[in-house]
């Protein structure tokens, strides 16, 4: 019986770590471009601002957010009781707003990973174009999710199918 509860705790921890990695990626994708832009313009001036560097900073910041979110959640879940971890996992599984934000973010990342290289092909390294474009798209998708209720078209609250 002890191995079954350990397995359940491990599985719940893995789900929560993956979710936190996703949330870290989304948040840092949203925060990195404006922070990087403000830092470069304030420190070095507008002439030193390059699209390639912005895209590189975006995807590197997103990766850092992903790693940080996963590490934080692993430390939190590994030191919590099995019942608390299980309760948090179930709450997150039925959090419709969070799931919808993840969907918007993923859709934006996929769109911008394709559109950014198409628009800015000669201005940046292809790796930075694709990965940085995905980071910017993730941020745009997250902003879309946050702004959508303000436009008067709130989403329907239907429970997810598990």
Distance CA 59, CA 45 (A): 22
**pLDDT above 90 for 159:** no
Q: Whole-angstrom Cα distance, residue 36 to residue 38?
A: 6
DSSP 34-91: HHHHHHHHHHH-GGG--HHHHHHHHHHHHHHHHHHHHHHHHHHHHTS-HHHHHHHHHH
Residue 45 pLDDT level (bands cut at 50, 70, 90): confident
Q: What pLDDT is recorded for position 162?
A: 62
**pLDDT of 1 strictly over 60:** no
pLDDT band at 160; cut points 50, 70, 90 = low
Percentage above 70 pLDDT, the chain: 92
In which band, very low, low, confident or very high, does the pLDDT at 82 lie, cut at 50, 70 and 90?
very high
**Looking at the predicted structure, is the pLDDT value of residue 158 above 80?**
no
Cα separation, 82 vs 85, whole angstroms: 5
């Amino acid at each position: 019986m002890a191995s079954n509860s350990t397995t359940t705790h491990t599985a719940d921890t893995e789900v929560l770590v993956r979710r936190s990695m996703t949330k870290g990626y989304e948040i840092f994708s949203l925060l990195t471009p404006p922070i990087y832009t403000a830092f470069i313009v304030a420190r070095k001036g507008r002439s030193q601002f390059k699209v390639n560097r912005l895209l590189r900073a975006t995807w590197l910041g997103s990766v850092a957010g992903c790693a940080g979110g996963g590490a934080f959640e692993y430390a939190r879940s590994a030191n919590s009781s099995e019942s608390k971890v299980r309760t948090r996992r179930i709450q997150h599984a039925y959090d419709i707003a969070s799931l919808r934000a993840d969907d918007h973010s993923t859709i934006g990342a996929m769109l911008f990973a394709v559109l950014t290289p198409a628009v800015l092909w000669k201005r940046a390294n292809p790796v930075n174009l694709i990965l940085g474009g995905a980071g910017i798209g993730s941020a745009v998708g997250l902003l879309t999710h946050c702004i959508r209720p303000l436009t008067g078209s709130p989403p329907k609250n239907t429970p997810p199918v598990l």
